[in-house]
Amino acid sequence: MTIISHCTVEALARAANTLRDGKLVIFPTETVYGVGADAENASAVARIYEIKGRPRNHPVIVHIASLRELEYWIDSIPEYALALARNFWPGSMTLILPRSRHAGDFLTGGQESVGIRIPSHPLALKLLEEFHLLGGRGVAAPSANLFGRVSPTTAQAAEEQLGPRLADDEVILDGGPCLVGIESTVIDCTSDSPRILRPGAITEVMIKEATSLQLVEREDAIRVSGLLENHYAPDARVLVSGSGSDGAGFLALADIQTPPRHTRLASPKTIEEYARVLYSALREADSRGLSEIVIVPPPGDGIAVAICDRIEKARSK
């Protein structure tokens, strides 16, 4: 396993060749770091499931370089989904669409839909473009963590969890800390109106404005990343608000005072900064060996909804 910190053109070409050869590459996106494989190589994708300990029926998202690649992976797309793609790609949004024959069961968990996104991180885009030049059509990439654990927002965090499981000729691209810090918004586009399956930085208000549609709620379930009740979990027990035992970690907006005998993990000044530091604060608690973390969720809607979703899943273990 090699960590590449200076991501030159030659380094990115090497990473693209690694993907073409059926190996894994950990790379940054604007949301979190992902562990990627050639989305058409079933054995390479199976390696992702193996090193993460991921259930085989839990689908992975296909990352593509441009809208031109979308039709290769999907059977059809409604007009509102095109509007979403044009407004928010590249960016932290995943669309769930009816799959084409190219999206195998090993990507979709046997479902008739596939998750697609175009990330906005420049290293991710360049890697995808280089892979496309080699004949690659997409990169399957869930978050670069052990399944159910805290997602990595730095190359070092990804290396700590998955580095020991990578082969010597596999690669980690270091693109610095992730700008958004929580996973993409996942939107079900398989019916006449959109449905949010996982909240993220692309919010309900933004979706309504882009599509001029009301979002729907349905009981039928589509399996997508991050929907399990227990997810994004540190070793420490997560408590929401209140106070913990002496020495417990504490995370809240900067204007909220740290309780006595608690250890401040981060003091974000804005809700956007809260999203960026959430996972690093959870990892910091584990690195310090803390047994509890008290979290005061941020108020409001928008990305605060996504933050609260991740906190709720982290406390459910």
Which pLDDT belongs to residue 50? 96
Taking the domains of the chain in order of start, what are their residue ranges? 2-211, 237-314
Mean pLDDT of 199-217: 94
CATH of domain 2-211: 3.90.870.10
For residue range 107-120, what is the model confidence (pLDDT) as tens digits?
999 999 999 999 99
Give a three-class secondary structure readout of the chain. Answer: CEEECCCCHHHHHHHHHHHHCCCCEEEECCCCEEEEEECCCHHHHHHHHHHHCCCCCCCCEEECCCHHHHHHHECCCCHHHHHHHHHHCCCCEEEEEEECCCCCHHHHCCCCEEEEECCCCHHHHHHHHHHHHCCCCCEECCECCCCCECCCCCHHHHHHHHHHHCCCCCEEECCCCCCCCCCCEEEECCCCCCEEEECCCCCHHHHHHHHCCCCCCCCCCCCCCCCCCCCCECCCEEEECCCCCCCCEEECCCCCCCCCCCEEEECCCCHHHHHHHHHHHHHHHHHCCCCEEEECCCCCCCHHHHHHHHHHHHCCC
Which pLDDT belongs to residue 315? 87
Confidence of residue 219 (pLDDT cuts 50, 70, 90): low
CATH of domain 237-314: 3.40.50.11030
Fold match flag (2-211 vs 237-314): no
For residue range 86-141, what is the model confidence (pLDDT) as tens digits?
999 999 999 999 999 999 999 999 999 999 999 999 999 999 999 999 999 999 99
Mean pLDDT of 151-155: 96
Mean pLDDT of 187-205: 95
**Is the model's pTM score more than 0.85?**
yes
